[in-house]
Amino acid sequence: MPHESRPAQIKKISLFVQCLVDVYEPQTAASMVDIFTRLGLEVDCPTEQTCCGQMAYNAGHRREAAIAARHFVSLFEEAEAIVCPSGSCTAMIVHHYPQLLASDPKWAERAQRVAAKTYEFTQFLVDILGIQDVGAAYSGTATYHDSCHLARTLGIREQPRLLLNKVAGLSLVEMEDSDRCCGFGGVFSLKYPEISQAVLQDKVNSILRTGADLVVGCDLSCLINIQGMLHRQGAKVQAMHIAQLLGHRA
C-alpha cells in the first residue's frame, strides 16, 4: 500500500500541475507555489510534464495511457514528494499506474515507487505536513463538493474541510449529498451529455439551496463542470479550487 510510512522531513516538493489547472487556471498552481513557499518548502516543477493519462485510460485506450504513465514516471521518479491539485489525477497515479504498467516488472516497480510518494494537495498539507491553517482569509460563505475519486478512492473527506474551517472570515455550509457525483465523468460528459447534464443539475440545485457564494472543491474538472452550468444559468455562485481559495490573504 502506498503512503504507509510518513517521509521524515520533506524539503522539496515537485508539483504535478493537473493538465486542466495548467491550461485553464494557472493561478491555482501559482497559489500552491505561494502556499508551499511560505511554508518554507522548495518547489520544483518539471517542465516536460503534461497529463496523467486518465482520460485515455477511462476511454479504454490503455496503450496510449501507458505512454503517458511512463512519461510521468520518468519525469517524477527522483522527486522527494509529488503534490497534485486533483484527487482524480492523484488516484490515477497512486492506484492505476501500478496496474497499468504491471506487465513489465521494471516499470511496475518504478510506478510503485512514484505512487508511494504522490499526494493530493490537501492530503499533503494536512496529513504529511500536519498543517491546517495556512493563514488564508476570505470573506464569504462556501460549500464544499466532495469529488468522487478524492473522497471514495483516496478517502480524503476531512482534510479539505479542516483547511476550509481555518480560513479567516469564511463560513462553511454543507450541501445535501456533497459526495454525489457532479456528472462530469470525463468522456462520459461528452458521450452522454443528456445524462451528465441531469446529474449535474441535481448538484447545482444542492449548491444553490445552501445559499453559499462559493462552491469549493479539490478537482478542477468538477469545478469547470459545475461552474459551466452555473454560468449558463446566470447563477452568481462562483466555483473555486481550494488551492486558489487558500492563496487568498487578508
Partner 1 sequence: MAGIEIGRYREVARESLDNQTLQRALSGMQQRIGRATAQKYKELPEGPDLRFQAREIRLQTLAGLDVHLERLAERIRGRGGQVFFAQTGEEAVAYCLEVAARHQVRSVVKGKSMVSEEIGLNQALESAGIQATETDLGEYIVQLAGEHPSHIIAPAIHKTREEVGRLFADKLGIAYTDDPAALTQAAREALREKFLTADMGVTGCNLACAETGHITTLSNEGNIRMASTLPRVHVALMGMERIVPNLQDHDILFRLLSRGAAAQNLAGYVSSVGGPAAWDQVDGPEEFHLIVLDNGRSRILADPEFRELLCCIRCGACLNVCPVYGKIGGYAYGHPYPGPIGSVLTPLLSDIGRARDLCFGEALCGACRDACPVNLDIPRMLLALRHKCVQGCANWGVAPGASKQERMLYSLWARAVSNRSLYNKLLKAARWGQKLAPRSGGWLRKLPGPLSGWTASRDLPPMAECSFIEQWKKGKFHPEDHITR
Burial 160-182 (b: 16+ CB within 10 A, else e): bbebbeebeebebeebeebeebb
Minimal distance, residue 8 CB to partner 1, in Å: 27
Only one of the segments 20-28, 116-124, 132-140, 158-166 lies at the binding site for partner 1 (rule: CB under 8 A); that segment is 20-28
Between 7 and 155, whose beta carbon lies closer to partner 1?
155
Cα 232 from chain centre:
24
Rule CB under 8 A: say whether 102 interacts with partner 1.
no
Closest CB 134 distance from partner 1, rounded Å: 13
DSSP alpha helix (H) spans, 44-104: 54-58, 62-76, 87-91, 97-100
Of 13, 14, 25, 87, which lies in the binding site for partner 1, with binding defined by CB under 8 A?
Answer: 25
Q: Does 202 bind partner 1 (CB under 8 A)?
A: yes
Q: Which residues contact 14 (CB under 8 A, 6 or more apart)?
A: 44, 45, 46, 76, 79, 80, 81, 82, 83
d(C-alpha 145, C-alpha 178), whole Å: 5
In the complex with partner 1, the residue whose CB is nearer, 64 or 127, is 64
Q: Does 200 bind partner 1 (CB under 8 A)?
A: yes
Task: Work out whether 48 is an interface residue with partner 1 (CB under 8 A).
Answer: yes
User: Which range of residues in 106-114, 122-130, 162-170, 225-233 is near partner 1 by CB under 8 A?
Assistant: 225-233
Tell me which residues in 138-177 interact with partner 1 (CB under 8 A).
148-149, 152-153
Angle formed by the axes of helices 220-232 and 193-210, nearest 10°: 80
Contact region with partner 1 (CB under 8 A), list: 123-131, 132-140, 156-164, 224-232: 224-232
> b/e per residue, 76-114, with b = 16+ CB within 10 A?
beebebbbbbbbbbbbbbbebbbebbeeeeebbebbbeb
* Touching partner 1, residues 55-74 (CB under 8 A): 55-64, 67-68, 70-71
Cell readout for 224 is 469547470
Contacts with partner 1 by CB under 8 A lie at 17, 21-27, 29-31, 33-34, 37, 45, 47-51, 53, 55-64, 67-68, 70-71, 148-149, 152-153, 179-181, 183-202, 224-225, 227-229, 231-232, 247
